[in-house]
Amino acid sequence: IRELHAADRRRQTVISELPRTDHRRSTEIIELRTALKGQVTALQAQVTALQGQHGLAGGPTQP
């Protein structure tokens, strides 16, 4: 019975930590998504700059 109580306490500890773990992961996902959006924006700016250098900005692709 002692072992069952100990196992139950361990389970309760894990269960009580789940909301905190979930919040931490959600925060990390938000931070990663924000960083990724910044990288996409930077890449879009680079593509636009390269297209401008080659006279492709806003126009159809040249044969």
What digits encode the pLDDT tens for the residues 12-54? 999 999 999 999 999 999 999 999 999 999 999 999 999 999 8
Contact 56, 62 (CB under 8 A): yes
Residue 4, C-beta contacts closer than 8 angstroms, at least 6 positions apart: none
Give the pLDDT confidence score for residue 62 in this predicted structure.
Answer: 53
* Confidence bin at 60 (pLDDT 50/70/90): low
Q: DSSP state, 59?
A: S
Contact 46, 52 (CB under 8 A): no
Q: 3-class SS at 61?
A: coil
pTM of the model: 0.63
Domain ranges of the chain: 1-37
